[in-house]
């Protein structure tokens, strides 16, 4: 598993271990945290290797030990692409190519499950957006890099017999996440001199938020679907919640009375360059193979905030 020390990866690890899988987790710990996975060190089926996917020779050695790859490693912050136009190219595209090339030359590792993103759709006209929607026109370097990774995987599937599952994820939330709107707003409110809550955008951005447990259920379900060729599944909630509602949920849960100050990056009320204002995925396809959602977008946000507050007490 690449990126196994990150938010989603470290949530997937214990589930796979409980199912009896032997895991090798690699992470270069730029955004992943070692403390996320240290509880698993005592498990004889778990092994951690600190490794950058740009280190091709070491990567090939690890891949040769594996039968299947969960590829979760990536730059996780869309906004970073505005300041560093190379980060998505290296950490997403080049890293994925290196992994696929290592799989191509491996004798046995020919299966990959890849976490892509809803942002590959750009700003689709069809809402909810199905997997077959096109053309795909991402509006951020992050989205472009995820789409490029999908294309690379498709090419290796077509030419070299790799089998693949691609998950296009909505916004995944949970108490151990270290980024995203919930984390950012709570962090701002913890500053003692804050007299107001700064919200990026005009508050009307509507997106799908999925609780981490529901996401992990989908990723595990993919193990039953990886056979020949490539399959793509959307993974998200059935509804949306806007940023303004999220801000009020956080203020209420923290027991704070703060004025909300909206900061827009563009005239149409976006929070940053590449910010998508309206996102909702169609999940009919993955539901047909048995996936069920336990939490709505609002419930996912509320539960995440509650657990963060409980952890801080």
Q: Tokens for 147? A: 């789409």
Domains, the chain:
7-172+208-235 (3.40.50.720), 176-207+239-277+296-312 (3.90.25.10)
Residue 270 to residues 47, 124, 203: CA-CA distances in angstroms?
42, 16, 9
Is 90 exceeded by the pLDDT of residue 71? yes
Render pLDDT for 165-211 as a digit per residue (tens, 0 to 9): 999 999 999 999 888 899 999 999 888 777 899 999 999 999 999 99
Nearest 5°: the CA angle 20, 25, 31 is 135
| Omega before residue 196 within 30° of 0, cis | no
Number of residues assigned to the chain? 313
Across residues 50-65, what is the average pLDDT? 96
Residue 228 has what pLDDT? 86
| Percent of the chain whose predicted confidence (pLDDT) is above 90 | 83
Eight-state DSSP code of residue 91? I
Residue 264 has what pLDDT? 86
Residue 308 has what pLDDT? 92
Render pLDDT for 217-246 as a digit per residue (tens, 0 to 9): 999 999 999 988 999 999 999 999 999 999
Least confident of 107-121, 161-175, 254-268: 254-268
Across residues 94-100, what is the average pLDDT? 98
Across residues 152-159, what is the average pLDDT? 98
Is 70 exceeded by the pLDDT of residue 39? yes
Is 60 exceeded by the pLDDT of residue 28? yes
Residue 33 has what pLDDT? 93
Across residues 59-87, what is the average pLDDT? 91
Across residues 262-267, what is the average pLDDT? 81
Across residues 73-88, what is the average pLDDT? 86
Residue 178 has what pLDDT? 81
Helix (H) or strand (E) holding 97: helix 95-104
> Would you tell me how many other CB atoms lie within 10 Å of the CB of residue 193?
4
Average pLDDT value for the chain: 94
- β-strand partners of 260: 197
What is the signed CA dihedral for 62, 75, 186, 174, rounded to 10 degrees?
A: -50
Across residues 144-164, what is the average pLDDT? 97
Residue 313 has what pLDDT? 55
CA distance 17 to 224: 16
CA distance 193 to 243: 23
Across residues 20-35, what is the average pLDDT? 94
- 8 A C-beta contact, residue 177 and residue 31: no
Reported as a pLDDT band with limits 50, 70 and 90, residue 268 is confident
Across residues 236-263, what is the average pLDDT? 94
CA distance 290 to 310: 32
Is 80 exceeded by the pLDDT of residue 267? no
Distance linking the first and last C-alpha atoms of the chain: 33
């Amino acid at each position: 598993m690449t990126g196994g020390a990150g938010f989603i990866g470290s949530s997937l690890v214990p589930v796979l271990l409980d199912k009896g899988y032997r895991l090798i987790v690699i992470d270069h710990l730029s955004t992943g945290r070692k403390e996320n996975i240290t509880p698993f060190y005592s498990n004889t089926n778990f092994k951690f290797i600190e490794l950058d996917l740009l280190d091709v020779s070491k990567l090939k050695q690890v891949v040769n030990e594996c039968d299947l790859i969960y590829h979760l490693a990536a730059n996780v912050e869309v906004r970073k692409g505005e300041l560093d136009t190379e980060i998505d190219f290296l950490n997403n595209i080049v890293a994925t190519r290196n992994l696929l090339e290592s799989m191509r030359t491996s004798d046995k590792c020919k299966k990959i499950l890849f976490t892509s993103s809803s942002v590959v759709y750009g700003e689709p006209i069809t809402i909810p957006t199905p997997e077959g929607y096109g053309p795909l026109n991402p509006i951020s370097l992050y989205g472009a890099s995820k789409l490029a990774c999908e294309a690379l995987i498709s090419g290796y599937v077509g030419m070299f017999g790799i089998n693949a599952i691609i998950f296009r994820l909505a916004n995944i939330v949970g108490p151990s996440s270290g980024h995203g709107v919930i984390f950012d707003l709570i962090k701002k409110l913890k500053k003692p001199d804050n007299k107001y809550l700064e919200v990026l955008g005009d508050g009307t951005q509507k997106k799908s938020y999925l609780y981490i447990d529901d996401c992990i259920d989908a990723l595990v379900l993919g193990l039953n679907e990886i056979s020949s060729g490539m399959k793509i599944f959307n993974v998200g909630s059935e509804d949306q919640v806007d940023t303004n509602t999220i801000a009020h949920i956080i203020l209420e849960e923290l027991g704070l009375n703060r004025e909300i100050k909206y900061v827009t990056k563009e005239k149409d009320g976006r929070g940053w360059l590449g910010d998508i204002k309206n996102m909702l995925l169609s999940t009919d396809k993955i539901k047909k193979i048995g996936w069920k959602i336990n939490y709505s977008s609002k419930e996912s946000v509320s539960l995440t905030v509650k657990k963060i507050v409980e952890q801080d007490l």
